[in-house]
Structure 1
Amino acid sequence: MKVNSFWVQRSPWGHSFTIICSTESQYPGGSFHLFREANIAKSQSAVDLSASFSFPEADFSHEGKYSCVYEVILSSRSFRSPASELLVITITVHLQQPSIPRIAPDGQFDVGPQGSAIPWGHSFTIICSTESQYPGGSFHLFREANIAKSQSAVDLSASFSFPEVEFSHEGKYSCVYEVILSSRSFRSPASELLVITITVHLQQPSIPRVAPDGQFDVGPQGSVITRGHSFTIICSTESQYPGGSFHLFREANITKSQPAVDLSASFFFPDADYSHEGNYSCVYEVILSSRIFRSPASELLVITITASLLPIIGAAVSAVLLLLSVLIIILLVKRRQKQRNKETNLKCSFKKRGSANTYAGGSQDNKYEDDDEADYENVGT
């Protein structure tokens, strides 16, 4: 008599499987005994010289080495066949590789060939899912080789939220699904890697071409400021990272720095000088998690200093006044000199008349003297 056993050696946990024993014995009407190791696991009467041993839900207790023995009773005596060849039953648990998305629910993912870029300070969520036939497990979110977060599966998926992104969240992430079956733990293969990169994007600041004190003269070459006047350069930005500061560059060097107030800063120059000429630009700087980030430089503001016309006008007016004063003095001197010459001529004429009258007699002389004195007084007045 020959006994055969037929069955695939591997069976998934929780599934049903059947072991069929058969024989070609010439003594029908017997029964089969299914042995697990050295003990009878099940017995069943033979039907057409075969028997099927069903296991409706495979468990790890079903693992082992199985064999069949055919038994027949003849004349009240029991006869058993040799044991069949061994059938090794192994219960397997196959967990599928989970999937990991490259899009966050809040839309902050920037998906590229190198991974996903997320702005600093924003939130993002990593969703792990599987199509495993073993529900009730949990997901582990790995960052590099370490578990970052764990969560029970709901409908064979789990969401891992990061409410405020830090640079410590950068790295390579993967999901692993774990299930416990009959007190044994089983883990799926790791999902594909999701590379997370944290980015800081600062917008280009704006720089105006008009000063609050109105001393700018805006032209195609830039802004022209009169020397000695004050002017102000205002830098502003629409950055999503407040609390930073502005640097005002002149050519390639920082000339002034100031903390931002409402995302703007005013750089005041009280007295414009030629040393202030040059190409100016603004840069916004912010410190996030002890790291320094700078925006691109603003467009250039060309400052040109021109001389003031007031000193020239003042000097010209002073020169004119001085010239007029000199002319007036000269005219006055000439007038006085002319008057003195006239008086001198009159005195000389009086002396000549006096000499002539001396010879004419004393009484007449006195008369002429009186008349001359009167004439002199009239001329003097």
Structure 2
Amino acid sequence: MTLTLSRVTPTDEGQYTCHLETQKSTTHSNTVTISIVKLNQPRIVLTSPDGGLARFAERSEITRGHSFIITCSISPQYPGGVFHLTFSGSNIDTKPAVNHSASFLFPVAEFRHQGNYSCVYQVEVASHNLSSPSSMPVTVIIKLKLNQPHIVLTSPDGGLARFAERSEITRGHSFIITCSISPQYPGGIFHLTFSGSNIDTKPAVNHSASFLFPVAEFKHQGIYSCVYQVEDAAQNFSSSSALPVTVIIQSPSLLMVCLVAASSLLLFLVILAVVCVVYRRRRGARQLEAHIQTPMAVTLRNHYVDSDEEEEEEEEERDYVNVDPAATKEKQWKLAGADEEESDEDHDYEEAQDDYVTLS
């Protein structure tokens, strides 16, 4: 006869004896004592010596590059034994139990370490290897820790006014929002958020991206911020939002409008005055040139006539050498007067030529 205990429970613990009974007698076998050994469930704890751990309800996040330690322990039942560390259902490491615990160190967290971890305790009792049930699992997520980006507001055409809690842009001017981040990883993208909603996305070039608004309108008034995102190991990681920038769109002031109008009117008057002065100077130069050219022609003509008359008078003097002295003196006086007038005309002609050269 064979007694089989398919599933041992604490109630099965005790002494077992076989009895053989016949019509004449009863025979007893030796006694077998069965002790039920039950190992407690071990505990598992996740820590990070350099502060790369963040705990949540259903997972623990380790920042990539940081170290972490998984510690397995069990309440004292038997001395010795070993702990098996399982990762996503497979045994990856085994360490002896020291003071009923064992620690497994991961010096640098990488994406391959992401998964579920658990512990199993094993000990030899009465030449039998006993294993505990698995501990509660710990889910480890490897994260990228991205720095907080920066946001800067500028206006290429001078329409920006900065204040303690806001920045004012004059309506009609252009403005640029630039997002940047300190170098950590190559590539990535920047998301520009406006009043909590993503409105534009641009790739990071040299760890920055610029968003241009050519003409500021009232619809652009609100709160702007940046979020940096990078993809690694088929996962997307996002930074925290940049400190927000509040943009207020202002209408151009009446004084500014008046100044612009006055400046335009003054510029028009200056141009008109310059045109008038240039026109008058050119007109005067043409009139003076015409005035100078006319007396010069008359003077040249008189000069030739006077020369012919002088030759005739000399011939008359040779023919009438015996003329009365008084008449001769009178004649000489007339000739001298004519010569003087001719000299005056020559002088006027030279002055006219000088004036003409100067004007030219």
Q: TM range, normalised to the smaller chain?
A: 0.5 to 0.7
**Residues 76-225 of structure 1 correspond to what in structure 2 (within 5 A)?**
82-83=26-27, 88-101=32-45, 103-209=47-153, 218-219=160-161, 220-221=167-168
Q: Check conservation: 2:41, 2:135, Cα contact below 8 A.
A: yes
- From 334, 337, 342, the equivalent of 1:373 is 342
TM-score (norm 2): 0.57
Q: Check conservation: 2:85, 2:91, Cα contact below 8 A.
A: yes
**Structure 2: which amino acid aligns with 1:336?**
E
Residues 1:334 and 2:303 are matched in the alignment:
no
Is the Cα contact below 8 Å between 2:96 and 2:102 reproduced in 1? yes
The unaligned stretches of length 5 or more in structure 1 are 1-7, 12-18, 20-63, 69-80, 268-273
Question: 1: distance between equivalents of 2:189 and 2:18?
Answer: 82
Contact 2:70 2:104 in 1 (8 A): yes
Q: Distance in 2 between matches of 1:210 and 1:122?
A: 38
* Superposed displacement of residue 141, structure 1: 1.6
| Pair 348,203 (structure 1): closer, same or farther in 2 beyond 3 Å | same
Answer yes or no: is 1:243 the counterpart of 2:180: no
Q: Look up the equivalent residue of 1:373 and give its one-letter code.
A: E
**5 Å matches for 1:12-27?**
none
Aligned to 1:373, the other structure's residue is in SS state helix
SS at match of 1:101: strand
CA drift of 1:108 comes to 3.3
Q: Does the 8 Å contact 1:247/1:282 carry over to 2?
A: no
For 1:243, the aligned partner's letter is Y
- Deviation string 1:211-242 (CA, Å, 9 cap, x unpaired) is 9xx98774233599x99xxx9968233x7xx2
Matching residue of 1:258: 205
Counterparts of 1:180 and 1:166, CA distance in 2: 36
Tell me how far apart the structure 2 counterparts of residues 247 and 112 of structure 1 sit (CA, whole Å).
28
How far, CA to CA, are the matches of 1:234 and 1:253 in structure 2?
11
Deviation (angstroms), 1:346: 8.0
CA distance in 2, matches of 1:192, 1:66: 42
- Taking the aligned partners of 1:374 and 1:203, their CA distance within structure 2 comes to 100
Q: CA deviation at 1:345?
A: 8.6
My pick for the range that moved more, 199-208 or 119-128, is 199-208
Structure 1 pair 314/127, CA: closer, same or farther in 2 (3 Å)?
A: farther
CA distance in 2, matches of 1:144, 1:130: 21
Q: Secondary structure at the match of 2:151?
A: coil
Separation in structure 2 between the aligned mates of residue 295 and residue 129 of structure 1, nearest angstrom: 36
Q: How far did residue 286 of structure 1 move?
A: 4.2
Deviates more, 1:109-118 or 1:340-349: 340-349
1:367: Cα distance to partner? 4.8
SS at match of 1:335: helix
Matches of 2:67 and 2:271 in 1, distance apart?
73
Q: CA deviation at 1:162?
A: 1.6
| Aligned match of 2:195 | none
Q: Could you list the per-position Cα deviations for residues 69-117 of structure 1 after superposition, in whole angstroms to 9, with x for gaps in the alignment?
A: xxxxxxxxxxxx8445885521322111111225545443322211212
Greater helix proportion? 2
Q: Tell me if the contact between 2:152 and 2:177 (Cα under 8 Å) persists in the aligned partners.
A: no
2:322 corresponds in structure 1 to none
CA distance in 2, matches of 1:322, 1:204: 61
The secondary structure found in structure 1 opposite 2:343 is helix
Question: 1:277: Cα distance to partner?
Answer: 6.6
Three-state SS of the structure 2 residue aligned to 1:221 is strand
Separation in 1, partners of 2:146, 2:70 = 26
Preserved CA contact (<8 Å) 1:151 1:158? yes
Q: Distance in 1 between matches of 2:201 and 2:280?
A: 57
One-letter code aligned to 1:374:
S
Root mean square deviation of aligned Cα = 5.2
For structure 2, the residue ranges without an aligned partner over 5 or more in a row are 1-10, 162-166, 193-198, 250-259, 307-311, 313-326, 352-360
Amino acid at match of 1:92: I
> Structure 1 residues 202 and 89, CA, compared in 2 at 3 Å: closer, same or farther?
same
